[in-house]
Structure 1
Amino acid sequence: MRTARALLALPGLAALAWGVVLFAEYALPLRPDVFGTVGWLVGGPILNDAVVAPLTAVLGAALTRLLPRPWRAPVVTGTVITGVLLILAFPLLWRPYGTPPMPGLHDGDPALGLTLTVTAVWLLVVLTALRHRVVPPITRDAPPGTRTDRSGT
């Protein structure tokens, strides 16, 4: 088991080392814009760990206590997906061209795209929660029907 873990960790450590090499090529010699980049690289995880993750945990705990059983998993899942979408859209919503230009990325309206995506997620949340009303859940109270009567053959 330890060998498998070590073999799984090696590609991650190699990617981390390659990232350090690429950042060193970018950052050295030091320039003023490097400090802004370090702020984003350090500030993002701190903001996530100090604000976003605790808020998501508190919201998830509150929702599981307040919502009926068929709505719990879909709503919590939709909340987490919405949070991830907001984190991914943040650079484009923060300022225009907040990311390096890529073909087709800046052709659309990021706020509209985020709104449509979040709407689709919550539509799926509602449909998933309502499926219990349309299709009753399978219960295993009785054994499955078997053919024991062979008199017809």
Structure 2
Amino acid sequence: MGHEAGGAVKIARALLALPGLAALAWGVMLFAEYALPLRPDVLGTLSWIIGGPILNDAVIAPLTALLGLALARLLPPRWRTPVVAGTVSTATLAILAVPLLWRPYGTPPMPGLHDTNPTPALALTVAAVWLAVVLTALRPRVVPPITSDAPPITRDTPPDTRDACSDTPADRPGP
């Protein structure tokens, strides 16, 4: 990449970061407006804001990763990717459902959301994920597996333009 292109990439990154930083600043302002002066309910909010990511990073994500690694080693190849994806999707759904499962009305009310019990909704969504996992693993392969006798495809490999059916001694280049 040339010097000019590198500078353009840096400018583009800075321009893409600006809306994120503006949103972060806005969120800090809104939280300060809510939290100051300090009250007992602010400490509960802080525990959710700080404790949630710590719980995810220290417990849920490592357990999901270990389960995914164990499943990847134990399962046959065609089941590995769908099952690991289903495991990660299930963990993500569980994280998203915690506020609703933890206590009634754990989130701000939205029309229609609190009309139902979140537990069956989570169970149906997880069932749909695992149905997709099973259907994906059982589908027939469209692409044949790569064999060891085929040369690897790299960027430096020239394209093969010969027709596979016309490979006769007369078609091969001579010495």
Task: Give the TM-score band, short-chain normalised.
Answer: 0.7 to 0.9
TM-superposed deviation, 1:105: 0.7
Q: Match for residue 106 of structure 1?
A: 114
| 2:32 aligned with 1:24 | yes
Give percent identity, aligned residues only.
71
Question: CA, structure 1 residues 147+107, in 2 after alignment: closer, same or farther (shift >3 Å)?
Answer: same
The higher relative CO (CA closer than 8 Å, separation ≥ 6) is in: 1
Q: TM-score, length-normalised on structure 2?
A: 0.77
| 2:56 aligned with 1:63 | no
SS in 2 for 1:100: coil
Q: Write the distance in 2 (CA, Å) between the matches of 1:56 and 1:8.
A: 31
Structure 1 residue ranges, 4+ long, deviating more than 3 angstroms after superposition: 145-148
| 2:84 aligned with 1:84 | no
Q: Write the distance in 2 (CA, Å) between the matches of 1:88 and 1:138.
A: 36
Q: Deviations over 1:53-81 (max 9, x none)?
A: 11111111111101111101100000011
Q: Which runs of 5+ in 2 are unaligned?
A: 1-8, 148-159, 167-175
> Which of structures 1 and 2 has the bigger CA Rg?
2
RMSD: 2.1
| 2:128 aligned with 1:120 | yes
Q: Which runs of 5+ in 1 are unaligned?
A: 149-153
Matched length: 145
